[in-house]
Amino acid sequence: MTIDLTDTTTSAIHDAVTQARRRMGGPASGMVLTLIIVTNEEAQYDAVRAAATAGREHPSRILAVIPRKPRFESRLDAEIRVGETGPGETILLRLYGPLAQHADSVVAPLLVPDVPVVTWWPDEVSASPVTAALGAVAQRRVTDAAATDAPPRDMLLSLARTYQPGDTDLSWTRSTGWRSLLAATLDQPYPTLLSAAVLAEAGNPTADLIAAWLRLRLDIPVSRGDSAGPGITSISFETPDGPISLTRTDGRTAALGWPGRPDRRVALHRRDIADLIAEELRRLEPDELYGETLRELASTGDFTDGDFTEVSE
């Protein structure tokens, strides 16, 4: 059911949601969290869809905050969707005029009591998530350095400067598959690792983060080179016995090469946004490792000095 409210107030929205729920026969069931999406008219469709998919199994309230014509008079329009995308509810909030500067006053009364709040910037990333208007209310602040207009690496460096526990970035989430494979690779006894190399599409922030993570954890020189992609194409270690490498050229299947052993293949997909958001929503405590990795990345400056050396294929 979709309900459109024009020039409305938060209490009217609240009443409409409660009524809609009752009419559908469902009581206010246990919402797991409130997800605030800070977006714009153009990007909201995909973001809301991804969030709804991610939250399908679990009821959550999705609040999409969309600023509209800044020079209009202040006005709040709401589009409420209940029972369409699963057990949760979605409310699109369109903020006209100066009201857009006070989005927190609209969002605060609509937060589900007692449950965590997550704020997600699917496209334009706030340079300092925690001080951004809708970042302060959230336990978890999700950005996406790969989605900004600015060069992703600059974005990561700026996120590193303002990092606060609870920040996280989808380019870090994208690294999970690679990182688990790398960790699994080193679960078996392995020869001394001399250095590592990460090859990926130019500017791929996930590759930068993985390179920083490897250097942080292994304390060996790590180089970061460009390839044609898609995404990350290879991560390899130099060892006295020869290279240990993970190679993925098609964005789907990786091959593990190990000196003296047959190559082994393993599925390693590029993941869609819904999947990434689902992973982010899974754990709501601060991700300390992301913070440490960002710091490591920032400490190597602009990648030209230190151990991060640019190489071309």
Partner 1 sequence: MDQGGLEELAEIAPANPSVIAALAEPPANPLRDPRDRRIPRVAGPCVLVMFGVTGDLARKKLMPAVYDLANRGLLPPGFSLVGYARRDWEDEDFAQLTYEAVKEHARTPFRETVWQQLSEGVRFVQGDFDDDAAFDRLAQCVRQLDVERGTGGNYAFYLSIPPKFFPTVVQQLKRSGLSDPAAASGIAGTGRRPWRRVVIEKPFGHDLASARELNSTLDGVFPQNSVFRIDHYLGKETVQNILALRFANEMYEPIWNRSYVDHVQISMAEDIGIGGRAGYYDGIGAARDVVQNHLLQLLALTAMEEPVAFDADSLRTEKEKILSAVRLPADLALGTARGQYAAGWQGGLAVPGYLEEDGIPADSRTETYAALKLGVDTRRWAGVPFYLRAGKRLPRRMTEIAMMFQRAPHLPFAATDTKELGQNALVIRIQPDEGITVRFGSKVPGTAMEVRDVNMDFAYGESFTESSPEAYERLLLDVLIGDPPLFPRQQEVELGWRILDPVEDFWASHTKPEQYPAGTGGPAGADEMMARDGRTWRRL
Q: Give the interface with partner 1 as residue ranges (CB under 8 A).
A: 29-30, 32-33, 55, 57-60, 87, 173, 176-177, 179-184, 186-192, 214, 217-218, 239-241, 252-256, 258, 260-262, 264-269, 278-279, 281-283, 285, 287-289
Nearer residue to partner 1 within complex by CB, 22 or 269: 269
Nearer residue to partner 1 within complex by CB, 55 or 225: 55
Number of Cβ within a 10 Å radius of residue 75: 15
> Shortest distance, CB of residue 22 to partner 1, whole angstroms?
17
DSSP code per residue over the chain? -EEEESS--HHHHHHHHHHHHHHTT-------EEEEEE--TTTHHHHHHHHHHHTTTS-EEEEEEEE--TTSPPEEEEEEEESSSSSSEEEEEEEEGGGGGGHHHHHGGGSPTTS-EEEE-SSSPPSSTTTSTTTTT-SEEEE-GGGSSS-HHHHHHHHHHH--BTEEEHHHHTTHHHHHHHHHHTTS--PPP-EEEEEEETT-HHHHHHHHHHHHHH-S-EEEEEES-SSEEEEEEE-TT--EEEE-SSSSEEEEEETTEEEEEEE-----HHHHHHHHHH--S--HHHHHHHHHHHHTTTSSSTT--EEE-
Nearer residue to partner 1 within complex by CB, 34 or 158: 34
Spatial separation of the C-alpha atoms in residues 247 and 237, rounded to whole Å: 12
Residues in the chain, overall count: 313
Nearer residue to partner 1 within complex by CB, 118 or 155: 118
> Shortest distance, CB of residue 87 to partner 1, whole angstroms?
8
> Shortest distance, CB of residue 8 to partner 1, whole angstroms?
30
> Shortest distance, CB of residue 103 to partner 1, whole angstroms?
24
Report residue 213 as tokens.
């993570």
Nearer residue to partner 1 within complex by CB, 35 or 157: 35
> Shortest distance, CB of residue 136 to partner 1, whole angstroms?
22
> Shortest distance, CB of residue 235 to partner 1, whole angstroms?
11
Nearer residue to partner 1 within complex by CB, 27 or 313: 27
> Shortest distance, CB of residue 165 to partner 1, whole angstroms?
12
Nearer residue to partner 1 within complex by CB, 62 or 76: 62
